[in-house]
């Protein structure tokens, strides 16, 4: 005896019951509103009903697909029409003015012709740009502090201000 039989939907969502009212610190607090169940199980009594619900995604309870089960256990990805393509891709570099420049490479040969300093990762280029700016500022600060004040005075630059030292006086 095959019928009646239960069919279940793979996207079944159980109902959320609510409607409770609590009292906390003298205030009535209502729980969030409930939600009805979605894609409940259905009982079919003949072949026509089974085909109808099967067309809507329902499957007989207890029926399994061994290949899907195995794929889920070992983490296989579904084979699909998608195939990764390396090119075209955007490449980025830092120009002479310190700004980030971009170019679209249609093929691997075109990417190689741009040079080794062109990278496909914009985040990495931004990090390199920030490091270059910090390094350049440090180099400039070191060069300025290494120049004697007399040389600065001869070139028409005001003397460097003396460092201010804070002294605390305790009584």
Q: Which residues touch 101 (CB under 8 Å, ≥6 apart)?
A: 92, 93, 94, 95
Q: Is the pLDDT of residue 87 over 70?
A: yes
Residue 159's pLDDT is: 53
d(CA 99, CA 135): 15
Model confidence, pTM: 0.35
pLDDT at 47 (0 to 100): 93
Nearest to 125 by CA among 100, 104, 88, 96: 100
pLDDT tens digits, residue range 129-150?
888 777 777 777 766 665 555 5
- 87/48: higher pLDDT: 48
Residue 1 pLDDT class (50, 70, 90 cuts): low
pLDDT surpassing 60 at residue 155: no
What pLDDT, on a 0 to 100 scale, did the predictor assign at position 135? 76
């Amino acid at each position: 005896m095959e019928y009646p039989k239960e069919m279940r939907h793979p996207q079944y969502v159980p109902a959320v019951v609510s409607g409770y009212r609590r009292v906390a610190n003298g205030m009535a607090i209502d729980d969030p509103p409930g939600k009805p169940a979605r894609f409940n199980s259905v009982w079919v009594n003949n072949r026509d009903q089974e085909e109808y619900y099967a067309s809507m995604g329902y499957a007989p309870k207890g029926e399994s697909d061994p290949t899907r089960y195995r794929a889920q256990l070992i983490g296989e990805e579904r084979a699909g029409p998608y195939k990764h393509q390396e090119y075209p891709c955007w490449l980025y570099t830092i120009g002479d003015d310190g700004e980030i420049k971009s170019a679209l490479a249609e093929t691997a040969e075109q990417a190689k012709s741009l040079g080794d300093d062109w990278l496909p990762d914009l985040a990495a280029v931004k990090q390199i740009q920030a490091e270059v700016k910090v390094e350049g500022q440090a180099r400039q600060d070191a060069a300025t502090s290494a120049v004697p004040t007399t040389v600065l005075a001869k070139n028409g630059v005001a003397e460097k201000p003396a460092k201010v030292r804070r002294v605390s006086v305790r009584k």
